Structure 1
Amino acid sequence: MQLGSTGIWSIELRMADPSEIADTAAELDDLGWGALWFPGLGGGDILADSERLLRATRRLAVAIGVASIWRHPAGEIAVGHARLQETYGRRHVLGLGVSDPAAAHAAGHPYRPRADMGRYLDDLDRAPAPVPPAERLMAALGPRMTELAGQRTAGVHPFMVTPDYTAAARKQLGDGPVIAPYQAVVLERDPAKARAAARDFLGVFLGMDHYARSLLRQGFTERDLAAGGSDRLIDGVVAWGDVDDIGARLRAHHQAGADHVCLHVVGAGPGMPLPQWRELAALTA
C-alpha cells in the first residue's frame, strides 16, 4: 500500500461537479499529494466515485474513508475493487467502517462491531476476487477493533484523534501495520474564527456515542464534549493556524508513529478548497 506521507480527505471530491472533480484531482496529483480520500457518507455508488478519481490521476492512491459494511455488500465491493486495481495500477485502497447501531439496525441486524467486521472480512476473503488484507484498512478507534485491524487488514484510519492517540495505536500495533489518521485543519490564524469553523464541522460528531467514547478514552472529559467542544478538545483534534502550524501537527503525528496523515480542510466556505490545497502542498515535500 503506497499512500505517501500526506494526503487530502475531501467531501467535495465526491460531491462536486464531475468535471470539476476530475480537473482538481489531476492538479492535486501534479502537486505531489500521496492520496485522495473521500467519505462513504450514506452509501451510493462509491466505487464509481473512486474510479472518477483514479481515471483523472496517474500516480496517487485513491482511498475510501470509509465504506460502511452495512451499505455495501462484500461481494459487490470485492468485484469492483478487483476491477479498479487491475485497470488503474493497484492504486485503490478500501477503507471499511462498522458505523453505529442505527446503521446495523436499519440493515436488520443487531450491532456487534467486532464480530460484524470479522464476518465482513471473511466475506471479502472468500469472494471470487478476494480483497487482499494489504489493500484494506479499518476505521478502528477502540483497542479491540484496532487489534482486529492489525490482524486482518493493512492497518487503521482513525477519525478525530490526537498525536497521543497515534502513539498509543503504534504501541499497540507494533511495527508494520499502517496508521493513517484523519486530521481536520483550518487555515486561519485568529483563534476565535478557527475554533468556530472547527466547531461548525465537528460539533455533530461529538453527539455520536462511538466518537464520544473514543474522545473520552483519549483523556477528554464530558465537559470537553459539551457545547460543540471545549477549546482544549478543538485544539487537540483540529490543527489550525498557518501552514507552519499545520505542518507542526503533521510532524507530531508522524513522530508518534503515523505512516500517512490525510488533511481535511474545513471552514473554507462552499466549493472546492483548491487555494488551501495548493498552499498546503508545501507539506508534501
Structure 2
Amino acid sequence: MTEHSAVEEIRRAIEKAPLLSANAQRLMQITADTDHELGDVIDIVKCDATLTARVLRVVNSAAYDLLNPISSIDRAVSYLGERMVTCIAIGDSVGNLMNRPMAGYQAAAGELWRHDLFTAFAAREIARCARGDMTIDLAFTAGLLHDIGKAILSEFLHGSAENLVGDIDAGHVENYLGGEKKLLGMDHAEIGLELAKSWQLPTPLQSAIAFHHEPQRAPEEDRLLVYAVHLGDIIAMMNGFGTGSDSMQYQLDQGYQDYLEFDTKQLPGIILEATELFRQAEASLTQNQETES
C-alpha cells in the first residue's frame, strides 16, 4: 500500500467511525465554557432518558457504596460531578471504538480506554497547577479523548510495531508519532484531530488531541490545556497504563514549566489521587456495563 492510498483508506475509516451523540457534544461544549453552571449539565442529562438511566445506575453502583440510593438526577449529577457524567456520555457513544483490541499497537481490548481514563484523571490533577485560568474538568475530557486516533490507525499498522520501535532506537524517526507518519502518511494525533472536527468538538479539545505529543505547536491560547494532557499522558504510561508498543516512546516537553507550577515533588500525590479516582471510576463503569449485559 502506497502512502497516498493509505491516507485515503484512513480517511474512509474516519468517515465510518461512530458519531458522538448530540448530548455528548453539548456536554463537552458547555463544560469547555468557563461560565457554565452545574445546572446546565443537569438540564442536558434530564433531556436524555438513556443518559439519565446510566447516570443513576453508575451513582448507585457498589463502587460508590452509598447508604441510601439516589433517585434524583440533580443529586446524582452533583454527586458524580461533571467529569463522570461526561465520561458516561462519551463511553455510550464511542465506548466500543475505544475498548476494542488494537493489534497494531499490540494492545489488548480495553487497554486504550484504561490509558485514556487514567490520563484524564492525571491531567485533571495537573491542571490544578496551572499558572493561568483553566477548567480542570476540561482537562479531564481532553485526557479522555487525546488518543482516540489510535483506535482508527491501529488496523493500518499491520504488525509494524517492532519495526517502528526499531526505527526509533536507530534514530530514523524521533518518536512513535514520526514512525506512524513515515509509514502511513498520517499519525494518530492527526487522525484524532480529523475525528474531533467531525464530532464538532470545541477548539481547545481539538488542540489537545492534535498536539498532546508536541505541546509547543499548539495555539498559545490552548497550550496550558495541552501541557496538562501531555504530562497526564506520560504519567499514565509511567504507571503502567500504556497503549501497547508505543508506551514510553515519546519525549517530555520541558516547556510545561512556563504554564504549570508543577514540581516533581508533587508527582507522588498526583499519582495517588489519580489512581484512587481511576479505580473508583473504572469499577463503577464496569459494573454499569455488566448490569446492562
TM-score scaled by length of structure 1:
0.32
TM-score scaled by length of structure 2:
0.31
Structure with the bigger percentage of strand: 1
Larger radius of gyration: 2
